[in-house]
Amino acid sequence: MITFTSVFVVINIFFLAVGALLYIYAAKNGIDVSQLATRDYLYPEIALNHLAIVPAIIFMMGLTAATFATTDSALTALTTSFCVDFLNFNKRKIQMIQLLSKA
């Protein structure tokens, strides 16, 4: 438990540092954060408009990879819900266990 907590704290500090570094980079390179629609657009603004093509591609691939985990979790939940609620997988399993126990 303590190991998980310490790793979790270190990872959170790392992500906070990355966010701070984005703002430091923006300040040093004259990127006006107030001109963006929201502050959430700072990351794609830097990645797409202020870096060379290779770092921009790597940044956007990282952003895409981060969204896959969220999408995967949502699809798993939807699939499980559909199978249990509409296809009655849970009831079939119980019926199969009952049939096998009688044999």
With 90 as the cut, is the pLDDT of residue 28 above it?
Answer: yes
DSSP output for 55-103: HHHHHHHHHHHHHHHHHHHHHHHHHHHHHHHTS-HHHHHHHHHHHHHH-
User: What's the pLDDT tens digit per position in 15-24?
Assistant: 999 989 999 9
pLDDT at 92: 65
Give residue 21's identity as a one-letter amino acid code: L
Q: Is-above-0.75 flag for pTM?
A: no
pLDDT at 2: 82
User: What's the pLDDT tens digit per position in 41-93?
Assistant: 888 888 888 888 898 888 888 888 888 877 878 888 888 888 888 887 777 66
Q: Which residues contact 39 (CB under 8 A, 6 or more apart)?
A: 33
pLDDT at 20: 94
pLDDT at 86: 84
- d(CA 60, CA 83) in angstroms, rounded, equals 34
